[in-house]
Amino acid sequence: MKIRYLLISIFAISLTVLSCMAQEPELLVEAAPKEVVKQYGIPFDKVPDRRDVTIYQVNIRSFSKEGNFKGVTSRLDSIKDLGANVVYLMPIYPVGSLRSVNSPYCIRDYNAVNPEFGTLDDLRELVDGAHARDMAVILDWVANHTSFDHVWIPKPGWYQRNEAGEIINPPGHNWRDVAQLDFSNQAMRLELIRSMKNWVLKANIDGFRCDYSDGPPFDFWKQAIDTLRNIKTHQLLLLSEGSRSNHFTAGFDYNFGFGFFGNLKKIFRNTQSVKSLETFNVSDYAGAADGQQMVRYTSNHDVNGSDGTPMDLFGGERGSMAAFVVVAYMKGIPMIYNGQETGTPYRLTFPFTSTRIPWGTDPTMTQEYKKIVAFRNQSNPIRRGELTSFCSDDVCAFTKQLDKEQVLVLVNLRDSTVDFSLTPELAAMPWKDAFTGKSVTLKEKVNLKPYEYLVVEK
């Protein structure tokens, strides 16, 4: 459907108009004249502090046998039991058919629900169910490009074009199925932001994961985020799937840990020292303030399909769990990709229509993920404490401290036994096992088996 606008002549002018629009409690949509989007349900008042989040990524097509919203809703208890408090849904919108490869990131209409997944009411039921279990919900948002049969395609000046006047693909990428939006066009920007606001109200969602956020310019994200933050009834979580440090300045809560993940793979290939992780704990946080964080992971929908499962990349079951401890505890917000917690032994391959997660494959691994996440959820030092790193070439070693509470983490990232030397001060402290609560006596030389990890607290 084509969107009906008010005040068309004003679209091209300043951010003053946008600021005024941002304070309005209701938004115009594409239906009949004067129809407005009103708040559905009650805004969720338990959105976690951005430092306390564990994200669970849901690939709707692969998540259940049904491959739809109801299939996700039916497993919300399992996501809750894992310890996640934010459910991130991959794109829920209709997929384009022109030049299409059936990618969920090739969006035909920003304001509609993909009938493949169900209806708006089905989405609302999913969100309501998550909220009832004290979990927030964020939607995937693709701001940089659309399908070639998107409802905006006829709009003059809304897309970048070549000298022949043809709409182009995103420059610098081999994404042949999508059309590049033109961010010099203020009317397009305003409508894109309006669409984001509509979802906050009509589905009562709690934020967005913004795909390829390095594409749109800084000033667009600043404009969009300032507008979204003006929805005073909602505490939104905003994740940039990008690497630019100015995403923090724009107002995102999170940036994406591409570099950390890539470096972790090199460590497991024995081509990089574990000490190299410390560099990312500095560089990734350039520009971060007030608890802004990096999102780190051992899998997501991209790398799972292109690179392999966590077990493929990180030394099998034991290595993948060691890698996850580093991701969950060292510095940042952990993200779990659906199925990794059950030890899915194969990739969930693009476009995700032929592979399903074999739930129940490895209950022991699932329990280990629960154990690791549960300690993170209860440990103030892990979530909010000051990091002191003293890694060796083979062992990721650090303390996290907040006030008088301290946690010591040692993770052997090699497939061989390693001796690690502790300082006399750390060895002499009265520790207890973080998972069992039993007293632990440490020596100055700690022997760690292949991919073994030790987490103690005091």
Rg (CA), the chain: 23
- Compute the average pLDDT of residues 333-356: 97
pLDDT digits (tens, 9 = 90+) for 54-63: 999 999 999 9
Task: Report whether pLDDT(33) > 90.
Answer: no
pLDDT band for 8, please (50, 70, 90 cuts).
Answer: very low
Q: How far lies 241's CA from each of 42, 71, 238, 300, in Å?
A: 28, 26, 10, 12
pLDDT of residue 6: 33
pLDDT band for position 317 (cuts 50, 70, 90): very high
Mean pLDDT of 215-230: 98
Q: pLDDT (tens digit, 9 = 90+) per residue, 412-428?
A: 999 999 999 999 999 99
Bridge partners, 58 (sequence order): 89
Average of per-residue pLDDT values in the chain: 93
Instruction: Identify the weakest region by mean pLDDT among 1-10, 56-65, 224-233, 361-370.
Output: 1-10
Query: Residue 20 — pLDDT band, cuts 50, 70, 90?
Result: very low
Residue 231: strand, helix, or coil: coil
pLDDT at 116 over 80: yes
Q: Alpha-carbon distance 92 to 124, whole Å?
A: 12
List where CATH 2.60.40.1180 sits in the chain: 389-457
Q: One-letter amino acid identity for 189?
A: R
Write down the pLDDT at residue 365: 98
- Residue pair 36/29 in contact by the 8 Å Cβ criterion: yes
Cβ(204)–Cβ(125) under 8 Å? no
Whether 189 contacts 223, CB under 8 Å: yes
Q: What is the largest CA-CA distance in the chain?
A: 74
pLDDT recorded at residue 10: 32
User: What pLDDT is stored for residue 16 in this prediction?
Assistant: 39
pLDDT at 191: 97
Report the candidate in 366, 365, 336, 338 with the shortest Cα–Cα distance to residue 62: 338
The pLDDT, as a whole number, for residue 349 is 95
Confidence of residue 24 (pLDDT cuts 50, 70, 90): very low
pLDDT tens column, 255-292: 999 999 999 999 999 999 999 999 999 999 999 999 99
Give the 3-state secondary structure of residue 415: coil
Percent of the chain with pLDDT over 70: 92
Q: Which CATH number fits domain 389-457: 1.25.40.20, 3.40.640.10, 2.60.40.1180, 3.40.50.170?
A: 2.60.40.1180
Q: Do the Cβ atoms of 82 and 56 come closer than 8 Å?
A: yes
Contact between residue 193 and residue 164 where contact means Cβ atoms under 8 Å apart: no
| pTM of the predicted structure, to 2 decimals | 0.91
What integer is the mean pLDDT of 202-227?
Answer: 98
Alpha helices, DSSP H, located in 330-431: 363-378, 380-384, 424-428
d(CA 423, CA 342): 37
Fold classification of 8-383 is TIM Barrel (3.20.20)
What is the DSSP secondary-structure string of 210-266?
EETTTSS-HHHHHHHHHHHHT-TT---EEEE-S--THHHHHT-SEEE-HHHHHHHHH
CA distance 93 to 103: 11
What proportions of the chain, in percent to the nearest 5, are helix, strand and coil? 30, 20, 50
Distance CA 178, CA 148 (A): 6
| pLDDT bucket at 397, cuts 50 / 70 / 90 | very high
CB distance 22 to 227 below 8 Å = yes
Euclidean distance between CA atoms 400 and 431, whole angstroms: 14
Mean pLDDT of 40-47: 97
Length of the chain in residues, anyone?
A: 458
- Confidence band, pLDDT 50/70/90 cuts, at residue 99: very high
pLDDT of 29 higher than 80: no
Q: Tell how many helices (H) and how many strands (E) occur in the chain.
A: 16, 20
Residues of the chain with CATH 3.20.20.80: 8-383
